[in-house]
Structure 1
């Protein structure tokens, strides 16, 4: 049996202004300019430039007053139709999901694939070999390796290119491609990649090159695990020569595809804040790109005023008023959201500066206090999600360098003295211990724990292992040197 129940619930719905503000708050400075340009393109009621004309302010006030009236034919409820008003008219549902992950464009240049095809075209190949070469180049991954089995590539050639071939023919073409630049390209394993680069050394007959090839071809597993004693016995070389070999091998490129400019994403770190120390007093300013000069179009405001005062109240006029009103609303909301963004950024950064004052004075990582999002949210009386949006994509320029805001947030570690210190301080100490260790006998995680405990840091072995991995420090065995 079905029943109808009437329930009363209280829910909060974001206003168009709030949606606009949230979207803009998480946009980093590097992308804000593009976002402003996009808004200027789609909204003719928004213009660049300072709004210093008082008459324009008077007209804006008149516009605000007029749209708040309930004068029958031009009642707001008659033509807004939904809670989003003019804002929703800018697109289908405010913004597409793609706007969330707007990326900085790839740097200009020729892609790795294009470079390799160009080199392939210089070879004197018949049509059959050329198709095989194209298929092999198409199978090369971004780091420069071919990880697909050659048998699978042979099957692809049969199905997609109608080329019947065998393993010997494909390997013959592959060897030609492996002679292309960059050295080591189209290798099927790291071992093959290093061998290809060594074989293309300027003096391949050099003794060190020959020893290096011997180590890679016959002691590769021992080399990757740094079992140097085994290499010395197996290859019959002395310790001095092995040092030269290791130095040569470690200078090779393990990811030859990465040198291609066309495949590398250029990240431009543009600070959102500039911090200056003026006679011991800190001054925070926003990057100028965060404060674009925008104004509501005077001509659109005049247009709305003229239509509103018109005696005619027909359907066409009403549609025109609706359009103009929507564009004026959107322009005003966008400008307000930009201003609110600036205020929120400055408030958040000022709170971080106050909290981490000692760090900003000296630039010493050990001076960082434990600080979480909640600490700053409580200081500025805002939601944690707001602070998170600011911290996740913003950076500050100081006299000690440019730091992402995320850098200043860290959990606390208890000490013997009963105080909490930042885990960044512990990482800094850990990093120093590893850099100063005897590389012949590197410190294990257990030894690192004991040394940290002696210094008063109450820390477990699993935490040391986690911090070591975050610092990209390999395990003790892989840090061993001769």
Structure 2
């Protein structure tokens, strides 16, 4: 048998981002607050980078007092730790306050305690494990309900413990060992396991769904300043947009003639940062102006916002849609003495068929459906088609599964 070896060259293009391009994208995406932190860290370690705010040319330098400008936009929100610290100090029964304060500081952003009693004892060897558990239980009686839980099950049970009634007791049993069955909508199985009616099971599930699985999320992680990126104002019936910070007062010292590689590395890092900030600000100003022009009636005449997609703004700016998405992430502008997130200017419109917005539509349709006659994927596809969204049943199923929404048969109520 003869073998033929075919040797041919195949040319293809593959775009690979350089380190500098990736760094520029990272700088574009982060918030003004995070960028300031990045700048401060680089200033501390890089002798070639210096900051002199007299060199700043952004809007912030036009104010008489920068500090007073910032004070106008301070967002002081109580953190979960601060909320619990107050309750600990006002607790009028026996409590190890030092241990309680420490535990409240160790909770994650959702209010959960992700440390075992043994791990906490390493910090407080003067106490025993029973005292640690007692302290945790006391914190769990505080507000918000469900705080300091070690699991979702415990979080729900803590909240249910503040209630009374037959349905509450059934809900406790479900939360204690049957949450997976709830997710799968196994109503009949739950009724047999707990020895009650399907109607009672459904009421208990409805009660569980009314609870807060993340009791700490409503609190601020930090009490921090807002750092707006843009300043918008109307003058002579025209919209004007300025960067709050243009140069951040940064400048790079000249590189002396040297073969010392570390010096060259410092110099490259400093120039890369300044260059990335310049590119970030150019893109931010371009996208900001496109938004202002697209929504000019809102700015000039205080009308409602027009439906707008990131793709529309990307086409205006002649950039990729992902660039606009990065540019508006965690960014805000000052207009009429209000700090407005840039994402506010992108209300959903029927012409915008991005994946995220399609998923939001599907979620909204399911949320409003009749629980006794839930919508099938085919029906959702038809309903979206009536809104000029041509989405196949298979794609609906894929998006639904991605959002962890069960099928119509598992969503159907049986009581």
Question: Which TM-score tier does this pair reach, normalised by the shorter chain?
Answer: 0.5 to 0.7
Asked whether 1:272 is paired with 2:229, we answer yes
Return the alpha-carbon distance in structure 2 between the equivalents of residues 358 and 467 of structure 1.
35
Alignment of structure 1 residues 182-261 onto 2, 5 Å: 182=142, 183-185=145-147, 187=149, 189-201=151-163, 209-220=164-175, 221=178, 225=185, 227=187, 234-235=195-196, 249-256=208-215
Return the alpha-carbon distance in structure 1 between the equivalents of residues 274 and 170 of structure 2.
65
For normalisation by structure 1, the TM-score amounts to 0.47
Return the alpha-carbon distance in structure 2 between the equivalents of residues 271 and 119 of structure 1.
37
1:6-35 alpha-carbon deviations (Å, 9 max, x no partner)? xxxxxxxx999x999777545532344555
State which of 324, 327, 346 in structure 2 corresponds to 1:390: 327
Asked whether 1:290 is paired with 2:245, we answer yes
2:380 maps to 448
Return the alpha-carbon distance in structure 1 between the equivalents of residues 384 and 413 of structure 2.
21
1:71-122 alpha-carbon deviations (Å, 9 max, x no partner)? xxxxxxxxxxxxxxxxxxxxxxxxxxxxxxxxxxx98774899899989997
Alignment of structure 1 residues 315-354 onto 2, 5 Å: 341-351=280-290
Q: Go from structure 1 to structure 2 and tell me whether the alpha carbon gap of 1:295 and 1:140 turns closer, same or farther (over 3 Å shift).
A: closer
1:29 maps to 32
Q: How far apart are 1:448 and its partner, in Å?
A: 0.8
State which of 305, 315, 339 in structure 2 corresponds to 1:363: 305
2:54 maps to 49
Return the alpha-carbon distance in structure 2 between the equivalents of residues 234 and 432 of structure 1.
34
1:350-375 alpha-carbon deviations (Å, 9 max, x no partner)? 4566689899985354x5375596x4
Maintained 8 Å contact 2:32/2:227: yes
State which of 345, 353, 360 in structure 2 corresponds to 1:422: 353
Return the alpha-carbon distance in structure 1 between the equivalents of residues 412 and 224 of structure 2.
30
Alignment of structure 1 residues 140-179 onto 2, 5 Å: 143=110, 174=133, 177-179=136-138
Maintained 8 Å contact 2:380/2:396: yes
- Secondary structure of 2:52's counterpart equals strand
- Secondary structure of 1:213's counterpart equals helix
1:305 maps to none
Alignment of structure 1 residues 87-102 onto 2, 5 Å: none
Q: Which has the higher helix share?
A: 1
For normalisation by structure 2, the TM-score amounts to 0.53
Maintained 8 Å contact 1:215/1:231: no
Return the alpha-carbon distance in structure 2 between the equivalents of residues 270 and 32 of structure 1.
10
Q: Go from structure 1 to structure 2 and tell me whether the alpha carbon gap of 1:230 and 1:144 turns closer, same or farther (over 3 Å shift).
A: same
Unaligned runs of 5+ in 1: 1-13, 53-105, 202-208, 302-316, 320-326, 414-419
Query: Who wins on radius of gyration, i.e. which is larger?
Result: 1
